[in-house]
Amino acid sequence: MQYTRYDAHRHLPGRESVSEISVVNGTSPEDWAEVLAKAKNHPNLIPAIGLHPWKVKDAPEDWQAQFLGLIELAGAVGEIGLDQWMDGHDIKQQEAVFCWQLKVAAERNLPVSIHSLKANEVLLTVLRQNALPRRGIHLHAYSGSAQQVEQFAEMGAHFSFHAGQFKANAKKAPAAVQAVPKDRLLIETDAPNTLDASSDASKFLNRGYEIIARLRDVEVEALAEQTAANFQRYFLDE
């Protein structure tokens, strides 16, 4: 059975497929214009711009002005977030940058794609203290526990996973993906960051569908139908 596949989170560069609809994320002013230009020429791409926590320390002084000058052309805010995994992280600096972008997303009710590594407890606290988009938030490559799923879901969170999170010895991601409410589940690739030189993003996306369907004990077609509805409601509905 053929179905349209939805990739909730990826980056540049990438080969477009007519059978896929993708959210392509920028990470700093260096790639925002390219993301927007590529999406303009490919109707199956939804552009997102954001200052990634890995890029915070090197951001130009006028990054906020650049962001505000381009956000009306974007369909989402991302990739933004918090990261305590990286060496030399300054979580307070990251938090200030994250909250400013989250405020912009909330004011415009834009989808927002959130990165969180070793920072889920901090993220929960920050989200409780800030206004969120009415449509909710999106936690990409969700790395929290199954127990934290309920706490994030209460705030309107959607959760996406990619095939690379389900290696043979993985325990946390399989438990988490089984805990996500069916109307909050999304699938992603995070390509090309997740791919090696011999990998194909389209096949990687398919593998994500297959693995997650097996873990949730549903047919792939049923999973595709549900995640398509989730994607459209979150990223495309007004």
The string of pLDDT tens digits covering residues 109-127 is 999 999 999 999 999 999 9
pLDDT at 17 over 80: no
What pLDDT does 171 receive? 93
Mean pLDDT in residue range 17-27: 88
What pLDDT does 181 receive? 98
What pLDDT does 189 receive? 96
What pLDDT does 18 receive? 62
Residue 25's SS3 state is: strand
Residue 209: which H helix or E strand, with range?
Answer: helix 201-216
Under DSSP, the state recorded for 194 is T
- Asked whether the beta carbons of 114 and 87 are under 8 A apart, the reply is no
| Amino acid of residue 199 | S
- Cα–Cα distance measured from residue 201 to residue 221, given in angstroms and rounded to the nearest whole number: 19
Which of 64-78, 91-105, 184-198 is least confident? Answer: 184-198
pLDDT at 160 over 90: yes
- ∠ CA 18-19-22, nearest 5°, is 85
pLDDT at 1 over 60: no
Ordered by start, the domain boundaries in the chain are 5-236
What pLDDT does 175 receive? 98
Local confidence band at 198 (pLDDT 50, 70, 90 cut-offs) = low
Local confidence band at 196 (pLDDT 50, 70, 90 cut-offs) = confident
Topology of 5-236 in CATH?
TIM Barrel (3.20.20)
pLDDT at 86 over 90: no
pLDDT at 197 over 80: no
Q: What is the mean pLDDT of the chain?
A: 95
What pLDDT does 13 receive? 82
